Structure 1
Amino acid sequence: MKIRRDGSRISKFNTFLLKRFVPDYENVKSDSVRAAYGYLEGVLGTISEVFLFVSKLIIGIFIGSIAMIAEAFHSLSDIVSSLIVIIGFRVAKQPPDPEHPFGHGRFESIATLVSAVILVILGIEIARDSIERLIRPTPVIVNIFAITVLILTVILKEFLARVAIDLGRRIEAQILVADSLNQRIDSLAAIIVLVGLIGVVLGANRLDALAALAVVGFILYTAYDIARDASNFLLGRAPGEDMVELIRLIARSVKGVKGAHAIFVHDYGTRKAVTLHILVDKNLSVEEGHDIATEVERKIAETITGATVDAHVGPA
């Protein structure tokens, strides 16, 4: 299967890295290749976040800015998120076993939920400190280093967001697309902190704490958004109408099939379990009906990569 590329500079950058670090990188249905994509995004994110965390924390403590310190721990949560991405893909690539006949692909969504919980805990802690700072304002010293780090954060976060979006779309990985949203919200949060520090320079000391609370809002929204998508996937979200109609058309294209209904698709990441009922002439023998069902299963499995198909036969 050919991967999706849009010709952008980010896509070309990703392709450059993939060609050098991911063997057979275009085989995006392979569990090991999918895992390698996740590792690549996770490593890029971890390296960037370690640099940002250390820089923001040191500067935040030095200038006494609760908003900058909040941003530092926001970056720390992103380090954890990047590590969770790596662990999630490592577990998800494990082959099926007797206890998990459809593989471990859903672990990606479990890892996403863990990331959301961490974000909520972090947001609550920062909110508490910010409210205390609102009640009892303390002096904040703004310098060129703080401004530079925040501007660098905006640029770097937008770059990482685009990298994650491109990689996530190539392999249709929910966890990477979710991480790209997290990166983009981080960029907006850094802008708010920057505005807060400018407000401090102009004499509005409480703007620093207000900026920190705004960052908390971004953190909690990110947690809610990625948790909602991951939960829907784990709870067995219904397939789209396009998928159902495709399966119905494939089934009806087989000679002898007069109808198809009760179509269900259970998504396990790179693997899918498809069940459906097909209608055949009631005068056919059991063997003839079975042969038709086998052909339906074969054609659907050929079209939908990673699908295990079970077609039940009924009289028309």
Structure 2
Amino acid sequence: MHNNLTKEEYGRLVKLAGRAAVAAASLLIIVKLTAWIMTGSSSILAALTDSLMDVMASIINLFAIKIALQPADDDHRFGHGKAESLAGLAQAAFISGSSVFLMINGISALVNGNQIVASNVGIAVMIFSVIVTFALVSFQSYIVKKTGSMAIKADSLHYRTDIALNGAVLLALILAGMGWHWADGLFAIAVSLYILHGAWEIGTQSINALMDKQLPKVEEEQIIKMAYHIPGVRGVHDLRTRQSGNTKFIQLHLELDDDQSLFDAHSKADKLEAALEGIFPHADILIHLDPLSVVPLEKQNEKLQFETEPVNFSKDA
């Protein structure tokens, strides 16, 4: 769906999502700080620390989004899209740090014991936190569906872990109010492990983008099949793809008959480029034309691996 957006629409939506995250995290810092002062709960302190990490990470995320939206310049000819992946990597670092702090706090509470007071206040604050965070994640999910932004996707995954954190803290406070004070520390440790898992996912996705991992297999097959639909194309080889921000980079070699004119060969390349832009708007496409006679046999055989299954050419594929 995000392929239909203009760059201006993409920029407006991702900036809006970034500002919403900063606003929500700032609000939760205020209410959790109040609750921690009133209850002394180790779980709420951990949740407060996580919200402090949230707001710092979201500010970095918003800054990175602004950089990623800048057009290409003389020093960055491929644009600034990888700033989004760098933001995702920073998110993973922040999440890991908050989870370690949370685990230490939970172990301390579990070993030393932690008597919680004013649990009703803590319960009310954590219910409010769950509602606010769920609303933010729902909005971010909508933006990710519209834009495909990696930075917002990472931020959304970050706040999804917060829903689990806030829910676990809420349950710990309820159990502690029933006299099971050990639950405060135990739940803090359990949630810290869950958050670390989320950090691993975000970090892996960001590193893959920074290391120029190829586009999904279904999209590469789509590109190859589209090339075969151009009359006169005898084969395709050396397909290379990657993604930076919302821009897909596609490079390939077209195998054509030797005896056609340069004009005819160029026309076929133009037709393929137009067809690919119809599926991947804003893509950066580079097509090299090869006379069939100069293409090594092993290159010609590359096409066989893409002829095993049909591919859907719709934009939602």
1:105 corresponds to which letter in structure 2?
A: G
Structure 1 counterpart of 2:249: 273
Quick one: which amino acid aligns to residue 81 of structure 1? Answer: A
Post-superposition CA distance 1:77-115 (Å, at most 9, x none) = 111222122112100111101222121111111111111
Contact 2:25–2:54, Cα closer than 8 Å, also in 1: yes
Deviation at 1:313, TM superposition (A): 2.2
Q: Does 1:74 align with 2:64?
A: no
1:150 paired residue among 126, 139, 143: 126
* Residue 258 (structure 2) aligns with: 282
Q: What's 2:235 paired with? A: 259
The equivalent position to 1:192 in structure 2, one of 156, 168, 172, is 168
Q: Which residue of 2 aligns with 1:65?
A: 41
The alignment status of 1:207 with 2:180, answered yes or no, reads no
Secondary structure, counterpart of 2:287 in structure 1: strand
Instruction: Please give the root-mean-square deviation of Cα atoms over the aligned residues, in Å.
Output: 2.2
1:1-316 alignment, distance < 5 Å: 28-30=5-7, 32-285=8-261, 288-316=264-292
Residue 262 of structure 1 aligns to a residue whose secondary structure is strand
* Structure 2 gap ranges (5+): 293-317
TM score, norm. by length of structure 2: 0.84
Query: Are the counterparts in 1 of residues 96 and 195 from structure 2 also a CA contact under 8 Å?
Result: yes
User: SS where residue 76 of structure 1 aligns?
Assistant: helix
CA distance in 1, matches of 2:48, 2:199: 17
Q: Contact (CA 8 Å) 1:164, 1:176: kept in 2 or not?
A: yes
Q: 1:28 to 1:81 in 2, by over 3 A?
A: farther
The whole-number CA distance in structure 2 between the counterparts of 1:269 and 1:138 is 46
Q: Flag the 1:299–1:205 CA change in 2: closer, same or farther, 3 A.
A: closer
Is the CA contact 1:85–1:111 (under 8 Å) kept in the aligned structure 2?
yes
How far 1:269 sits from its partner (Å)? 2.2
Counterpart residue type for residue 29 of structure 1: T
Paired AA for residue 214 in structure 2: A
Q: What amino acid does structure 2 have at the position aligned with 1:149?
A: V
SS at match of 2:174: helix
| SS of residue matched to 1:283 | coil
Higher RCO (C-alpha under 8 Å, 6+ residues apart)? 2
Counterpart residue type for residue 268 of structure 1: S
Match of 1:151, SS state, is: helix
Distance, in Å, in 1 between the alignment partners of 2:269 and 2:34 is 66
Secondary structure at 1:72 match in 2? helix
Task: Give the TM-score normalised by the residue count of structure 1.
Answer: 0.84
Instruction: Give the Cα–Cα distance (whole angstroms) in 2 for the partners of residues 296 and 55 of structure 1.
Output: 56
Residue 162 of structure 1, CA deviation: 0.8
Give yes or no for contact 1:38–1:85 (8 Å, CA) kept in 2. no
Change (3 A) 1:50 1:136: same
Q: Point out the more displaced range, 285-294 or 168-177.
A: 285-294
Distance in 2 (CA, whole Å) between partners of 1:42 and 1:148 is: 27
Identity %: 27
- Residue 256 of structure 2 contacts residue 265 of structure 2 at CA under 8 Å; is this kept in 1? yes
Preserved CA contact (<8 Å) 2:61 2:84: yes
* Residues in 2 aligned to 1:57 and 1:289: alpha-carbon distance in whole angstroms: 67
CA distance in structure 1 between the partners assigned to 2:33 and 2:192 by the alignment: 17
How many residue pairs get aligned? The number is 292
